[in-house]
Amino acid sequence: MKYPISVELTKQSRLAEVDFDNLIFGRVMSDHMFVADYIDGEWTDCRILPYGPMPMSPAIMGLHYGQAIFEGMKANKSTKTGEPILFRPELHVERLNRSAKRLAMPEIPAEIFLEGVHRLVDLDRDFIPQSEGSALYLRPHMFATDAYLGVRASDTYRFVIMSCPVGPYYPKPVKIKVAEKYVRAFPGGVGFAKAAGNYAATLAPALEAKEQGFDQILWLDGKEFKYLQECGTMNIFVVIDGKVITPPTTDAILAGITRDSLIHLLKDKGFEVEERNISIQEVIEAHQAGKLDEMFGSGTAAVISHISDFSYKGKNFELSPIQGRKVGPMAKKLIQDYKVDAVEDTFNWLLPVRTTNKELSK
Ligand code: COI
């Protein structure tokens, strides 16, 4: 193997501390983490360690100049075999590497990323929750580690994968405010990347929106302030007169893997799905004409989250109650059933986790 992995097992599992009936997103990590370092132009020292703090200089460049990127993916247990499975993991490697390229960071070899995920999930398989809508959330991420304050791309990096059992990210339908003042991304920028800074830039506007009673912001394009981009941590879908519409992915929109999966699943079920620019005006006009059936967001963490209403320039637009909606609830079930292997794997998206650590972890 080109990248051997050393393993140090935890001496004290924290599994008993997990309240599987009351999972808070991102709060409790599982027992182990995977770490690899980029030094002298090469990825090296791949290792699995007990999850915990790592000593680090306060001068690391990831902290100062934002060379920090991440992925979010999920592992579930197959309802057919009871074994852990992954959902389209290779797309997460590709996306992390697109983010890396834009932020002048080194690409991570697929072998390291995927082997790390397999070994980690195998080892911490007992942390995979099994209630509906829950999963083991994996957070692969990379950051610059040169301790240096000059502005340039770092020479060294660390890649880490950690995981945590999670329930639904948004437990209830979300109320959204359409952006009027702030912009998330613009052409030529980094909006398509899962860069830490993209999320940091949304926090103050999100707080402002929260103070006004909203859960999330629906971002409009940064050029004309007209077209829908994304909603909080999700891609946005609008259903008008039975037709499902979502903005095309550009350099200002994250290429969501749930988004892509949903487009395939909905088309497979015979729905008309359009990937095209959609203006906030078109959404409002559809609402006024009684043709705006639904709006929902999609994401790995969020799965499918229904939008109960949206507000634009001080005016609130209510959507039909959740029971009256068809596409969103069905889409949610389609994607959830697919991820737990409860339906046929038509698109060949599921990958069983290899059981390399079984002997080790006994
Ligand atoms: C994900 O859906 O995995 C995300 O990255 C959203 C996260 C920021 C909560």
Q: Is the pLDDT of residue 6 over 60?
A: yes
The mean of the pLDDT values for the chain is 95
What's the pLDDT score for residue 361?
Answer: 46
What's the pLDDT score for residue 357?
Answer: 65
Please tell me the total count of domains within the chain. Answer: 2
CA angle 27, 31, 32 (to 5 degrees): 110
What's the pLDDT score for residue 121?
Answer: 98
Least confident of 43-57, 74-88, 194-208, 314-328: 314-328
Structural domain contains residue 42: yes
Q: Are residues 114 and 251 in the same domain?
A: no
Any alpha helices (H) in 226-317, and if so which ranges?
257-268, 280-288
210 CB-near residues (< 8 Å, 6+ apart): none
Q: Is the pLDDT of residue 81 over 50?
A: yes
Q: Are residues 152 and 214 in the same domain?
A: no
Q: Ligand 1 center to residue 82 CA distance, Å?
A: 26
Q: Is the pLDDT of residue 23 over 60?
A: yes
Q: Ligand 1 center to residue 295 CA distance, Å?
A: 19
Q: Are residues 155 and 244 in the same domain?
A: no
Calculate what percentage of the chain has a pLDDT beyond 90. Answer: 93
Structural domain contains residue 348: no
Q: Is the pLDDT of residue 220 over 90?
A: yes
Parent domain of 10: 5-167
Name the DSSP letter for residue 60.
B
265 CB-near residues (< 8 Å, 6+ apart): 331, 334, 335, 338
Q: Across residues 296-317, what is the average pLDDT?
A: 95
Q: Ligand 1 center to residue 73 CA distance, Å?
A: 8
Q: Across residues 56-72, what is the average pLDDT?
A: 98
Q: Ligand 1 center to residue 134 CA distance, Å?
A: 14
What's the pLDDT score for residue 362?
Answer: 42
**Residue nearest atom 5 in ligand 1 by C-alpha distance:** 72
Mutate which of 138, 260, 300, 339 for ligand 1? The one with the most ligand atoms within 8 Å of its CB, which is 300
CATH code assigned at 123:
3.30.470.10
- Picking from 251, 199, 207, 236, the residue whose alpha carbon sits closest to that of residue 70 is 199
